[in-house]
Structure formats: structure tokens, C-alpha cells
Structure 1
Amino acid sequence: MTRRGRHRRQKRGRALRALLAGTALALTAAATMISVSQATVSDRPGALKALPLSGREAAGLRLQEHAVPRRTLDRLASAMGRPVGVTTVLGDADHSLLDATDCPSTARAELPVAPVARRAYCWGAADTRGWRAGAVTTSGDADDDGHWGEHRVILSGWSRGSGRAGHARVAFVDATDPAHLTYTWAALAVTVDGGRDYRALASPVSGMVWYQGKLLVSTADGLYVYDVHRIQRATVDSGAVGRVRGGWSAYGSKYVLPAVGSYRFAGRTAGPAAISLDRSTAPDSLVASERVPADSRRSTRLWRYAFSGDPVRAGLLATDAAGRAVPSQAYRTTATGVGGVLSYRSRWYLARAADPPDGHGTLWRQDTHKARATRCGADDFHHCWSGRAGSLSYWQRTGEVWGQSGRMLFALPLASIDRSLG
């Protein structure tokens, strides 16, 4: 890079940090003004309570693994063409994320008040209109060196509608150059008719973890598994999903990911509300939170599953002889409405949506001894997190937590979250 190029990047970086800091100051002032009206909200979850790993409650957290037959996936690949990988998808990027300096103030209002985001970007309004952001994961999850091949990658999940009218897609974002993020879309799908066709993943995405070659996607219907080595090209640009006249369509996306498996709870279909990867455990583990409405009197369960150490099952959960993934740890918290969960070194971070909806949410750090929240504005005021609290992803190599709220994609150091705790 030339000296002039470095100077431009440094100047733009300083401008971005100043903008984000200014936005945070304005939001902090607003938070202070409304602190009196919100201070009476009773949302202090207290310490986590450990749950036994035996008995009926633990049994209800067991996941049954279901694999899509290899012949089904091969039949689809034979009809659609040879699958491609992440590098090919990134090389076909046809959109760019906007730097926060170029994002409208209404979009930046979704950012956390405290701590301040170190980096932030927004999606174009035209490209995401009618879609809602649901999850984020990165190549920091996928590989411990933080790269996928030569690239740093972010995956962002979005949903539209539900039921028969539902669709889900993932943006493959090339984040190798932090000053210029580009991306393209891949539709999430489920094979039908023995691999002769596929349909849209109709349930909204609430969480994602990209681990090794697998992408685990949490929805209300369960936990779906995708293989990033089995990405198929769409050949027809239309509003349909699946086989169409002249080829294959993916609701406007250039690519499609067919599910290679799923995990379901015994006796019910709803999947976890949020998931993330914890690389501080041995082996690495998947952590999850339960779906409990914000106004519920019922407490929320948090738990983790170990990933398999078998190279043949790379990216899949460890299972017993019956194909069941059994929790290795479980807790209960009185926090409800959890939209994002993160665990690192025995500390659990829970992101909760705003109350009221046009305000800011909360981010709590809990362990078995106490609970503390990020703080801003007036003393003990902790409605400081993004308004539409979504999934969280910790990029261990860089020490950054990535999050998404509305059209904003942002990153900030985990250390800054810990420093902001009241």
C-alpha cells in the first residue's frame, strides 16, 4: 500500500471513530433523559443457577441428529452442477457494505450506546427492504486463525416472512479489507423429493455458528446444518425457489445452500433462540439460550454442547450411540427475551431487546456469583445495548465481538464490554 493510501485509510479511520463516539454521546444524552422512566423496569437477572445434567429437564435439552442421505445431496449436485466453495462465492461479490460515516443517522441509532463500536457498517436499504437481520458468525468461528483460506469472512443471516411464504438467506461478506467490505447472497434451502428439488428454509433465522466446514443455523423449527463446501449456483434469477423452467432459482440470490442435516429436540420442534461458539472450552462448544418471551414469568435456560473431535464429523456436535447431542453444562437465569448469547471463560453475556421497542436493549454478563450490565447515562442506567439485540459472535483472534442490529453490522472489543459493566 502507498503512503497516500495509508494516510487516506488512517484519516477515514479517525473520522469513523469520531463519528461513532459522537453518535454514542448523543445516544447517551438521550439515555440519560429517559432513564427516570425506565429505571423502574425490573430486569436484574442475578447469578446463574446451575442445573443438573440428569433427569427430565436435562433430557429435554438433548438434540437428535438427522443427516440428509449422501445420495440425496449428490443427486442435487449432479443436476445443478459441481458445488463451489466460499472463495468462489466471495469472488462473485456484487454488493458493498456502507461505512458508518455514510450510513443514515436513523440506522446508526441502532448501535450500542456503551461501549462504542470500534467498527460499524450498514446494509443498503434497497438490498434489505422487507428482510430482517437475524444472526452473525465469522471465519473467527470457522478456524482458530480467523481466516478462511486467504480471506477474513463474515456471514450474516436474514429472513423474510414465515411459513410457506418464508425465506432465509446468508450474505457472504469478504472482510479482508476492513475499509471495503463486499458481499453476495446465498439462499438457505432444504432438499425435497430425494434431492430432485429444494425448497426455501421458511423459518426465521435467529442464530448462526460457522465451525470448520459446517454452518449451524438456529430457527424456530430446529437447528439446521449446512456445508460450506456444498454451495450450489443458481442459474435463473427469479422470485421462485428450486427447479424452474430453464434451471434453478434461489429467490434472487446467486447461490443456494442445501441443508445437509438438522438437530431437533425430542418431543418439540422449536430450536434455540440464540447460539454462538465458545473456543475457551476443551473441546470447543456450542452455547445456546432458550426462547422465552420478554414478558414471561418463566426463567430462561442456557446450555452448551461439545463439538465432535472425530475428523469424519468435523463441524458437527458430539453425539452418543443413538445420535443424540447431550448438554455438557446447563444453567437457569431469570433474564427473559434473550436475543443474543455468548460464553467465554465461564462468563455468559446475554443481549436483550429494547423495552420499549424504540429504546435500547441491555447486555448482561452473568456467572454463578453475580450479574452486571453495561452502563451508560445516569448512574446504574443500563439500557445501553443495541435496540434490536441480535446474535453475538466472538472473534477470539482479534478479541472482537460482532453483532448486528437492524441494518447495522458492528464490532467492538470484548474487553470494552467488560470495562463498561456497572
Structure 2
Amino acid sequence: MKHRGRHRRRRRGAALRAVLSGTALALTAAATLISASQADVTDSPGALRPLASPADTGRLQLQERLVPARTLDRLSAAMGRPAGVDAVLASADRRMRASADCSSADRASLPVAPAATRASCWDPADAAGTAWRPASVTTSGDADDDGVWGTHRVVLAGWTHSTTTGRAAERGLARVAFVNADDPARLAYRWVLLVVPVDGGRDYRGLASGISGMVWYQDKLLVTARSGSADALYVYDLDRIQRTSVDGPAIGRVPGGWSADGYRYVMPAVGSYRFTAGRCARSGPPCPGALALDRGTAGDSLVAAEWTAPDGERNARLWRYAFSTDPAREGLLATDAEGRAAAVEAYRTRTAGIRGVLSYRRPGTERASWYVGRLPGSRDGHGGLWRQDADGAKAAHCGSDGSRRCWAEKAGSLSYWQATGEVWSLSDRMLFCVPLAELDSSLG
């Protein structure tokens, strides 16, 4: 149940809280730019082409599938009273280091242009291995208009485990770092493992899915499902975080209690969205990659980008769904009487390898600009960040050769924090933010 004393929705137009405190760091990405010869990063993705035919939009339709309340209640009754976000943050056992204390390799992964104004690297215990990698980010700036959840400013970072390396028990799992961002100079975080209830709530399993996109909206967290699945999104409830009681390698119910491969907290899925047209494929529904929230539409909306290989020939689609305005459906998509969610806008873009997406309507303009962060064809080195609309596309230039490979190395998703005017993202090594105004300025 939502704790209204700690958190409430603010009316649009209400006074926003003060921006994050602290002096922004002037960061220099000391990276040697790779040759800008690969067309997928340096060539313009061109103008957006609207997709309006039923054949195109029908492939984007979703079917909502909510976990029965009795299943969730049975799991809560067995595991004990759910923990809140405050409890997770209070037990943070990892510390992030400010950019100045990070390695040169860490700093080299940051954007070249525009430069990050604030950046941190992860605890060495998490950064040392190669099996777990961060890919998605969302913040309490997405969750609520004023950017605060309860009394805290929070950043959530989604990590996925490799399906081929590391311990077999961990392969393909997904976890979320709950980062306390109250003090930008002293970020601390705690892991929460994403799970899925099974056997009517008598047990749970780990979520075996990549989470390349993630949006925290109201009390729900929406994450992408792995490419090739009929499922497009999984839904989690921030008020249903559960504590484990056994510190062991198993995931689920065990003799003596509940285990999650050593994680203290788990968050069970409360629903999912599945493409009605079947599994994502070249001729069918897209494989969702990046997600973001857009508060600039008439009603808040979820924007998505299709994942396609950066060195492939298949260009990506961009689209959006409306969020429900029903108070009983906080954080869920708008659906019809049959539980189906239709895309309210869709485009084809002449690019591939998209890892980040944003849609933002600048004051005084009639239509939104779409920002797409792209991987280079080799997936190594710095990528590009382009701003697109119906007229064309622009990107930052950097380096002596005027390269457009200026964005972060192996960059992940994008999240706009409305209350501070900052865009948050992450490389494979660091969490960082850039003011939207500076990002726009760098794009011309």
C-alpha cells in the first residue's frame, strides 16, 4: 500500500524542489577517440519517418498480464512485511567514488562532448568483474514531478549478468542498485534482486532477462524483457520489496526461509506486458531496448526504442505508450477494456544500435525532439548521441577530426530529471549526468 505520508503526487505546475546540492565537477574525458569511419555512428540517422498504418502500429500493441493479488499477498504473508525504499537506502552497503578518485580507464568512458558535470564510479567489489554490466538508469525525477521519493533523491541503475560467463547460478539475472543521491558527493547504494513469483506465490525465481531499459513511474518500475521474448516489459512495485532470511546461493524458498543468492532484498514482479503479435522479430514486433519517461505530452508517456545490432542493416523504430490516469492503476499503461495498450505515436529512424532514448518538447515548440544514443558498429569505444525530429538530425562534434563519436563508451539508457534539468546516463564503468541545456548546446 502506498505511504501517502511519505510520498504524494504533485500537481503539474507546483513549485519544484531545489536542485541537487553540491558543486558540479568539471570532468575531462581523457579518451583517445577511435576513427570515425563507421557509418552507424558518424552518418546522420536522418529525419524521423512517422509510422501510422495499422500494419505498423499493430505490431506495437501490448497485452497486460497482472499477477493476481492473492499470489502477491501469499508471498508477502510468507516472507513478512514488505520493506520500503527508505529501508533499502538506510542499509546501503556500497559506496560510489567521485570522478577524481576513479581510475583513468573509468574516466575515459565518460562523454567527450558535452562533458559530464557530475560522475561517480562503482564500488570496486562490483566493478572488478566482467560478468555484471550496468545498462539502464531511472530516478526519483521520473517517479514524481518534484524529483523526491519520500524524503530522498534516488537513482536506480539496472545491471544484467552475462548469460555465458561467471557463476552458472547468476547467469542472465537482473539486479537494481538503489542509490541514495541526497548528497551528490557521497553516493551509496544497495542491491535488490529482481524476481518473479511462481507456484501461486509460494515461491519465486530470478528474473532471467536483460534490462536495457528501465522507468520508475509513480510506485511502479517498468523494465525491458530480453530480446527474442514475446514479453516486452516486466512491472515491479516499489512498495513490495521483500527481505530475505537465508544467506545462501539458492534463489527462492529454502529450508529455514527465503534466499536470493546472497542478496538481502528481492522485488517480485507484479505484472508484464506481452506483444499481441508474438515474439519480437524482423517482420514482427520490435525487441524493446531503451525506455524513458516523457512528461511533456498531454498525459505522461513511456517512450521506447527498438534494439537492433549496431553493425546490422536493420533500422530501429521509436514509439510511445500513454500511462493510465486511473488512480487505481498507478504506474501502469493506459489499456482498453481487453487490457490492450496501443502505441500512440511511432517512427522509423535510419539508424541501429540504439542504447538510450529520450523525447523532450522544448518550450515554445510544437513537437518533441528525440534523442538517441548509439553504439559504434564494433561496440567498442565511444558512441554517438543524436537529436532527431521530422526535419533532420544533429550530433555533437569533438576531437581534431570533428568526430561525432563524442558520447559515452558503451553508454546505457537516458533519464531526464525534470526538477534539476539534468540527463542521467551511465557508461559500462560510471554513472553520470549532463544538463539538458548543455547537451542541446553541444548538438547545435
TM-score, normalised to structure 1, is 0.91
- 3-state DSSP class of the match of 1:60? helix
Which amino acid is the alignment partner of residue 65 of structure 2?
H
Which residue of the partner structure matches residue 103 of structure 2? Answer: 104
Cα RMSD for the two superposed structures: 1.8
Which amino acid is the alignment partner of residue 283 of structure 1?
G
1:60 and 2:76 are equivalent in the alignment: no
From the two aligned structures, give the one with the greater helix fraction: 1
Which residue of the partner structure matches residue 420 of structure 2? Answer: 398
Measured against aligned partners, the alpha-carbon deviations of 1:370-391 in whole angstroms (never above 9, x if no partner) come to 1001221136421000110210
How many pairs are equivalent?
Answer: 401
**Aligned partners of 1:162 and 1:203 also within 8 Å:** no
Which residue of the partner structure matches residue 326 of structure 1? Answer: 342
Which residue of the partner structure matches residue 284 of structure 2? Answer: none
Which amino acid is the alignment partner of residue 392 of structure 1?
L
State the identity as a percent. Answer: 60
1:352 and 2:382 are equivalent in the alignment: no
1:162 and 2:163 are equivalent in the alignment: yes
Please give the alpha-carbon distance, in whole angstroms, between the structure 1 residues aligned to 2:41 and 2:194.
38
Measured against aligned partners, the alpha-carbon deviations of 1:210-240 in whole angstroms (never above 9, x if no partner) come to 0000000112242000000000001112222
Which 5+ residue runs of structure 1 have no aligned equivalent?
A: 1-8
Instruction: Please list, as runs of the form range in 1=range in 2, the aligned pairs for 1:172-187 lying within 5 A after superposition.
Output: 172-187=178-193
Please give the alpha-carbon distance, in whole angstroms, between the structure 2 residues aligned to 1:41 and 1:202.
30
Please give the alpha-carbon distance, in whole angstroms, between the structure 1 residues aligned to 2:222 and 2:197.
16
- 3-state DSSP class of the match of 2:196? strand
Q: Structure 2 vs 1, CA of residues 131 and 36 (structure 1 numbering), >3 Å: closer, same or farther?
A: closer
Please give the alpha-carbon distance, in whole angstroms, between the structure 2 residues aligned to 1:174 and 1:107.
21
Instruction: Please list, as runs of the form range in 1=range in 2, the aligned pairs for 1:71-90 lying within 5 A after superposition.
Output: 71-90=70-89
Which residue of the partner structure matches residue 436 of structure 2? Answer: 414
Which residue of the partner structure matches residue 359 of structure 2? Answer: 343
1:302 is aligned, of 307, 313, 318, to 318
**Aligned partners of 2:219 and 2:238 also within 8 Å:** yes
Which residue of the partner structure matches residue 49 of structure 1? Answer: 49
Which residue of the partner structure matches residue 118 of structure 1? Answer: 117
Which residue of the partner structure matches residue 405 of structure 2? Answer: 383
Which residue of the partner structure matches residue 138 of structure 1? Answer: 139
Which amino acid is the alignment partner of residue 195 of structure 1?
G
**Aligned partners of 1:342 and 1:393 also within 8 Å:** yes
Please give the alpha-carbon distance, in whole angstroms, between the structure 2 residues aligned to 1:281 and 1:267.
27
Structure 1 position 56, deviation (Å): 1.7
Which residue of the partner structure matches residue 6 of structure 1? Answer: none
Measured against aligned partners, the alpha-carbon deviations of 1:78-105 in whole angstroms (never above 9, x if no partner) come to 1000112111111111111111111111
Please give the alpha-carbon distance, in whole angstroms, between the structure 1 residues aligned to 2:378 and 2:277.
34
Which amino acid is the alignment partner of residue 142 of structure 1?
A
Which residue of the partner structure matches residue 241 of structure 2? Answer: 231
Structure 1 position 39, deviation (Å): 7.9
Which 5+ residue runs of structure 2 have no aligned equivalent?
A: 1-20, 281-286, 362-367
Q: Structure 2 vs 1, CA of residues 287 and 76 (structure 1 numbering), >3 Å: closer, same or farther?
A: same
**Aligned partners of 1:227 and 1:257 also within 8 Å:** yes
Higher deviation after alignment, 80-89 or 304-313: 80-89
Structure 1 position 266, deviation (Å): 1.6
Structure 1 position 37, deviation (Å): 4.9
Q: Structure 2 vs 1, CA of residues 39 and 69 (structure 1 numbering), >3 Å: closer, same or farther?
A: closer
**Aligned partners of 2:145 and 2:419 also within 8 Å:** yes
**Aligned partners of 2:315 and 2:350 also within 8 Å:** yes
